[in-house]
A and B are shown apart, each in its own frame.
Chain A
Amino acid sequence: MELIQQALPEFLVGARNTIIYCVSAFPLALLLGLILALMSSSRIIWLRGPARIYIEIIRSTPFIVQLFILYYAVGAILLTVNLELLDNAWTAGIAILAINYSAYEAEVFRAGFLSVDRGQTEAALSLGLTSFQNFFRIVLPQAIPLMIPPFVNDFIYMLKDSAIVSVIAGTELTSVLNTWVTHHGSNPIPLYALAIVLYLLLSLPTSYAARYFERRARAAL
C-alpha cells in the first residue's frame, strides 16, 4: 500500500503522457486515413496503387518493428544530415502511432463509404450535384455514424498500443511501470495491479462510450 502511494504520482504522469500520445496521434491517423481511403477508392491507379501498397505493408509488419525502424534507423539517417533534433521519443512515438493507425483507419473509411447505398450517389449525380458536393453533402454525412464505433474501438487499441512506445521512451505509463519494477523487483505485483487499474480506467469508459455510440448508430438506421 505504501509502495502504491509512493508510485501513484509518477504513474499518473505516465497515464497523462499516454493520453497525450493518443490524443495527438489519433487525429493525425484519421486525417491520413481519410486521404488514403480517398486515394484507394480512386479510379486513377497512380493514386490507388500506392495507397494499397502502403496499407498492405503497414498492416502486415509488426508495430514494434515499425517503431524501431522509425526511431533507430531513420534516426540514424537523420543524424548524418544533422537533423537529429527531429528524432526523439515523442515525435517518433506520435508519428509511428499515426502512421500505423492510418492504414487501419483507411480501411474503416473505405468500408463506411462502401456501406452508403450506391443509389444515393446515382440520385445525387442525376439531380445535378457535382461529385465533390455528392461526397461532402450526401455520402460523408451518411457514412460518419457508421464509422464512429470502429473509430472509438481503434482509439482504445491505440491507448493500449501506445504502451509499445515504452520500448523507446521513458515517459508513458508502461515505461514508468518498468522503471519502478526494476527498482522494486522484490515486490512487483502491486505495481502491475496499479498500472492495470490505470489502463482500465482509461479504456473501460471509452469502451462504454463506443458501445453507446454503437447502439445509437444502430437505432438511427
Chain B
Amino acid sequence: MSFVEPSVERRSLRRFKQSSVGEPGTSVWHIVSNGLFYVVVLVAVGAFVYYLYTFQRDHGYLTLYLPVLLDGTRVTFIVSILSIVLATIFGFIGVLGRLSHFAPIRWLATVYVEVVRGTPILVQLLLWYYGVGYVLSTIGFDPYSAVFQIATALQSNSLVPDQFNAYFYGIIGLSFNYGAYLTEVFRTGIESVSKGQTEAALSLGLNSRQTMRHIILPQAFRITIPPFTNYFMTLVQDSALLSVLAVIELEHQTYALAFTQTDANIKMFVFVLGAMLYLAICYPLSLLARSLETRLARAY
C-alpha cells in the first residue's frame, strides 16, 4: 500500500532516474554543451596568450621581464626545496618529542607546535630576521660573514649572495613554521596505525625499535604522503612571504618590476606573469597530491 499518489510517485521516479542515471555527457545536448565549453575555454586561453603576445609585440616586455622573473623562480624553487628538507627534520624532531615518554620533552614539543601554529608565519619570519638575527649579531654571530669566510677559504666567496642573512633566517623561519605542521602530520600518521599492529609485533618478539622501523613507519608513511605533498605546495606559496625580508625571490622580483611601472596595464601584466610562474610550480604539485591521494586511498 502506497501513501504517495501514483502521479507523484511517477514524477519522483522520473526525477530519481534523471538524477542517478543521467550522467553528464550522455545526451546530445550534454555533448554539444561540453564541446562548446571546451571551445570557449580554448578561446579564452588563446585570448590570454594573445594578451601576452601584444606586450611582446609592442614593447618586447616578455623577453625583457621573463628572464628576470625566471631568475626569481629559480630562487623560490631552491628556497622551497631547502625549507622542506629542513622542515622535515624539524618535524621528525618534533614528533619524537611529542611521542616521548619523558613529560618535559613532550610539553616542550607541544608548546612548539601550539605557539608556532597559533601565530602568523609573517610575524615569525620578522621575528627570526629582525629579532633573533639582531640578538645573535649583538653576541657576535653573523651567518653572512661566517659563510663568507668559509667560502673565501674555498676560494668561492662570489657564490655567497649579499642577502645571505635574509636567506638564512628566512629559510630557518619557514622550515621552523612548517616543522610544527609536519609534526602533527607525522603524529597523526603514526597514531593512525592500529594498536593491534604494535601488539602483534611485540608479541612476535620484535623489540620496540624494530616494531617502529619495520611495522609502524612503513604504514604511517603511506598515510603521511598526501598531506605532506599538500604542505609542500603551501610552502612554495608561503615562500613568497620571504619577499618582506628582501630575499630576491619570485614575489620580490615581480613586485620590484611592477612597482616602477606607471602604466596600469603593464603593472597588471607583470603581476599576471608572476602569478603564472607560481601556478607553473604549484599546479603540478597539486596534481601530484591529488593523484597520490586517490592512489593511496585505493591501496587500502
Q: Does A207 contact B (CB under 8 A)?
A: yes
CA separation between A129 and B15, bound complex, in Å? 10
Q: Does A138 contact B (CB under 8 A)?
A: no
8 Å CB interface, A118-142 against B = 121-122, 125-131
Nearest CB of chain B from residue A124's CB, rounded to whole Å: 9
Query: Among the listed A44, A128, A129, which residue makes an inter-chain contact with B9, where contact means beta carbons less than 8 Å apart?
Result: A128
Task: Mark A91-110 against chain B: 1 for CB-CB distance below 8 A, else 0.
Answer: 00000000000000000000
Task: Mark A149-183 against chain B: 1 for CB-CB distance below 8 A, else 0.
Answer: 00000001001111110110000001001100100
Whether A77 contacts B268 by the Cβ 8 Å rule is yes
Q: Contacts A125-B15, A167-B244, A192-B123 given; indicate if A65 touches B271 (C-beta within 8 A).
A: yes
User: Could you count the A-B residue pairs with CB atoms below 8 Å apart for me: how many are there?
Assistant: 156
Query: Among the listed B9, B119, B241, B264, which residue makes an inter-chain contact with A164, where contact means beta carbons less than 8 Å apart?
Result: B241
CA separation between A141 and B185, bound complex, in Å? 30
Whether B118 contacts A203 by the Cβ 8 Å rule is yes
Whether B134 contacts A200 by the Cβ 8 Å rule is no
CA separation between A56 and B279, bound complex, in Å? 9
Q: Does A63 contact B (CB under 8 A)?
A: yes
8 Å CB interface, A67-125 against B = 68-69, 72-74, 76-77, 79-80, 121-122, 125
Q: List, in ascending order, chain B residues with CB within 8 A of A4's CB.
A: none
Q: List, in ascending order, chain A residues with CB within 8 A of B265's CB.
A: 77
Q: Interface majority SS on A: helix, strand, loop or mixed?
A: helix
Q: List, in ascending order, chain B residues with CB within 8 A of A74's CB.
A: 268
Q: How many residues of B contact A (CB 8 A)?
A: 58
Whether A62 contacts B264 by the Cβ 8 Å rule is no
Q: Shortest 6 CB-CB distances between A and B: which pairs?
A: A76-B264, A163-B120, A60-B282, A62-B237, A62-B240, A160-B120
Task: Taking A62-B251, A72-B259, A204-B118 as given, write out 13 further A-B residue pairs in contact, using a Cβ cutoff of 8 Å, ordered by the A residue number.
Answer: A45-B34, A60-B233, A60-B278, A62-B241, A64-B243, A72-B267, A122-B20, A159-B120, A160-B118, A161-B120, A192-B131, A196-B127, A199-B123
Can you list 13 pairs linking A and B with CB atoms under 8 Å apart?
Answer: A44-B33, A45-B37, A65-B251, A65-B275, A74-B268, A76-B264, A129-B12, A163-B123, A167-B244, A174-B120, A174-B122, A200-B119, A207-B118
